[in-house]
Chain A
């Protein structure tokens, strides 16, 4: 294999023999301390840990500070920085065209919750195979501080004033659209973000990760629910999820009834351990209720909120051939001359 670097003696390598540096991207141009950068770092961690071949990852994004970030991770992966709110459609087309690709989509709360709300819902509805990350800061960063659709009621911004509109809960919207993998996390919680990313990368359909990702420039006041201090103080894990790749033995040992094991299609497993709240992540109504209650009480609950692998993903719905559409030879793409002659006969 051309891509495997020979392991050097003193640097850590993954199962492909690759150093972590291989998974990095260009240097970030985002503000110092921007939550989006820590999420990029977690994507690098997750892909490195899992030993993913970056060449078979495709990165997609819309427009926004968040959407710039695919340039800052996985430099060996093709990237497509598309249009504001239109990342899901681009990813959908590419994922159908080449079934060997794993898609990572990065979007912002403005990108997903406003201009791209329709594409977000429809990509989920189709179960387009991709990890859909929303780097949620409750504000438009790149256009300098307008309210987004996830801004809190009463949230105050320097130029925009006070927000009066209720926020859209993107996890709730994902579940309502029948998403089979819905998680919420916090950019300041590296362990949880990495675990959820790993699980999402092994999930078959659309996996939505709504990650609160503070904007240090426009929305990081202590009272903002999208700030670092709020996140740190209020982050409440509702489920303790452990991700076990298919090549590892499960070593976590829970008492009977305490944990639930969910096997993903690639053979890896998620072990869900109930915490105080006793949330069952496989129960859709429970997940909706949990989110509604949390919204009502302004609680910041994180973890894998809902998982359900029963729906066919878009590739299955389309009955795609084993060989990716993009690799089909001309002989399979162009019907025979004979068939055209026959067709023409029938139209005479």
Chain B
């Protein structure tokens, strides 16, 4: 056992004063070492102790062997963004231990496995060496499974050191293994052995601990991709075509997992949906457009590289006016880029995806709850607007675990949009025009193939067309059609989810953000407020930009657009939409593949303000 001199972090605690429910834990392991169960157990136990938490997996694009980090943030104030540095480190990976220890907050704690051959090299950190391998003996497991059990050794030690409720850990394990005693028992045995060993051997010499609170009652814990899939299912999705890509795959996985139980017709035991794994993303969107054209609620999910491949079909869907829902779980960079790292780099390319004047409708969920909500709402919008609707989530929201209020059941009836039935056509005497703007909102009426009326059919094409959907190269037909599409875009501006605003009396600074940066912005605003810096906040939830964005900019001297990309993509769009106000709009963008932190926002903003 090695216990170094404790140097409490002067910034965070007075010497000896305990730090309760307000720190981050980083668990450094290797990909494929089976630590997910241990980490998820810890997260859930803290959550069930009523402490606000978030869990983030920082993992490499690799199946086995490369370093992986899991960070758990416990925050009594309810801040759940990533923190730049952790106070508690569990070091289980020899390859990264030196670096991991270096990144610890001063005054922090390091629990490390004796198998690393590591000798502590910081004197402002409290070190605890644990015989993880030996403790795993208690599991009674052999081979690979025994290796997995080693992870339970650090769970046991953390239970002792931090004061985590053992009963909640047991409950979390039971929950994880769905009550299967055979799987649960070896883990409990290891945990117990580790606790006993720690009690006997370790002297608690740091100030970090957890205590039961009452701040997570009634909340659920879920990842954004599962939330999105459930949203789609409650939105009545009936056709899905997709192609595997990280970090979108778990969305399709969740669809495949939940659809059979939620969407099997109880009367005849048949599925009310179809999921097809396509040969590539081009085919995926082609199938989705085919099904959407035929009248089914259809969707696909992908990430950046898939979005590029879908470009031609996206432009087609926009111009031929076919409903479709496309989820983009954004990741970093082109090609494979950094496929397991987060970014908000697809905003501009997706907004303009297509060719020949395309501006797409985009939804921007900022939480798992919004992933669910937009999951169903997107179908209403796509069918109402007769256009592909994109939903830009990202790896952080999509693949990490988030606390949330339980999801609300979709309100109202499904909006199936403007569809003329056989009866409508009879009433109209068969007189109708597919692309005529009868209602002044830019949206025409469509018929579905299989409508039993001799005048129902029309011809769908990407080429120039008249109101009657007949081929045309006449300049005035083209212009008229593009004008109508412009009108439709203005309709979309009104129908898309409005931004969420928090305007603060007397604030000179406005922040605009969207998507997964929301928690970091919330926390940054609170830190800034503590320093006497007032900020207003507008969180975008859709493109086209709502008209309220302009008034928000007018109400502030300086507006910073916070986002996770290099080209300040939404800042550019905001400037484009309100050119006379462009001088007040500044980018506050960052792009390092990691979820944004409040610290970065505060520091970057202070630099800009200086």
**Chain A residues close to B by CB (< 8 Å):** 2-3, 22, 26, 53-56, 58, 60, 70-71, 75-83, 86, 88-98, 100-101, 118-119, 122, 126, 314, 318-322, 324-326, 328, 330, 332-335, 337, 339-341, 343-344, 347-348
The verdict on B215 contacting chain A, using a C-beta distance below 8 Å, is no
The verdict on B467 contacting chain A, using a C-beta distance below 8 Å, is no
Question: Judging by beta carbons under 8 Å apart, are B449 and A94 in contact?
Answer: yes
**Contacting residues, chain A, for B337 (C-beta < 8 A):** none
Contact pick for B274, options A22, A101, A325, CB 8 Å? A325
Bits for B276-290, please: 1 = Cβ < 8 Å to A, else 0: 101110111111111
Q: A55-B451, A122-B278, A322-B268 are in contact. List 19 more A-B contacts (CB 8 A).
A: A55-B454, A58-B449, A71-B459, A76-B456, A77-B457, A82-B462, A83-B313, A86-B282, A92-B286, A96-B296, A118-B280, A326-B238, A328-B238, A330-B236, A333-B237, A333-B263, A334-B410, A347-B221, A348-B220
Given A2-B453, A119-B283, A326-B295, does the pair A97, B238 have CB atoms closer than 8 Å? yes
**Contacting residues, chain A, for B270 (C-beta < 8 A):** 319-322
> In angstroms, how far is the closest chain A Cβ from the Cβ of B468?
11
**Contacting residues, chain A, for B298 (C-beta < 8 A):** 93, 97
Question: Judging by beta carbons under 8 Å apart, are B286 and A98 in contact?
Answer: no
Stretch at the interface among B100-108, B227-235, B600-608: B227-235
Nearest first, the 8 closest Cβ-Cβ pairs linking A and B are A93-B290, A89-B286, A333-B236, A93-B287, A78-B449, A326-B295, A93-B291, A97-B296
- CA A21 to CA B398, docked complex, whole Å: 55
Question: Judging by beta carbons under 8 Å apart, are B407 and A340 in contact?
Answer: yes
Question: Judging by beta carbons under 8 Å apart, are B409 and A340 in contact?
Answer: yes
Question: Judging by beta carbons under 8 Å apart, are A101 and B449 in contact?
Answer: yes
Question: Judging by beta carbons under 8 Å apart, are B450 and A100 in contact?
Answer: yes
- CA A93 to CA B300, docked complex, whole Å: 12
Given A71-B471, A340-B234, does the pair A348, B218 have CB atoms closer than 8 Å? yes
- CA A79 to CA B458, docked complex, whole Å: 7
Question: Judging by beta carbons under 8 Å apart, are A337 and B409 in contact?
Answer: yes
Contact pick for A58, options B236, B263, B271, B294, CB 8 Å? B294
A-B contact pairs, 8 of them (CB 8 A): A70-B459, A79-B458, A79-B459, A89-B286, A97-B238, A97-B292, A101-B449, A335-B262
> In angstroms, how far is the closest chain B Cβ from the Cβ of A107?
13
Contact pick for B287, options A78, A89, A100, CB 8 Å? A89
**Contacting residues, chain B, for A122 (C-beta < 8 A):** 278-279, 283
**Chain B residues close to A by CB (< 8 Å):** 218-222, 230, 233-239, 241, 262-263, 265, 268, 270-274, 276, 278-280, 282-298, 312-313, 316, 406-407, 409-410, 413-414, 422, 426, 447-454, 456-463, 470-471
- CA A119 to CA B282, docked complex, whole Å: 9
Q: Which residue of A lies closest to B235 (CB)?
A: A334
> In angstroms, how far is the closest chain B Cβ from the Cβ of A23?
12
- CA A71 to CA B409, docked complex, whole Å: 44
Question: Judging by beta carbons under 8 Å apart, are B272 and A333 in contact?
Answer: yes
Given A93-B288, A93-B291, A97-B296, does the pair A333, B268 have CB atoms closer than 8 Å? no
**Contacting residues, chain A, for B297 (C-beta < 8 A):** 333
**Contacting residues, chain A, for B462 (C-beta < 8 A):** 81-83
Question: Judging by beta carbons under 8 Å apart, are A93 and B447 in contact?
Answer: no
- Chain A CB within 10 Å, residue with most, of B230, B276, B280, B313: B276
Question: Judging by beta carbons under 8 Å apart, are B295 and A55 in contact?
Answer: no
Question: Judging by beta carbons under 8 Å apart, are B262 and A339 in contact?
Answer: yes
- CA A77 to CA B458, docked complex, whole Å: 7
- Chain B CB within 10 Å, residue with most, of A26, A328, A335: A335
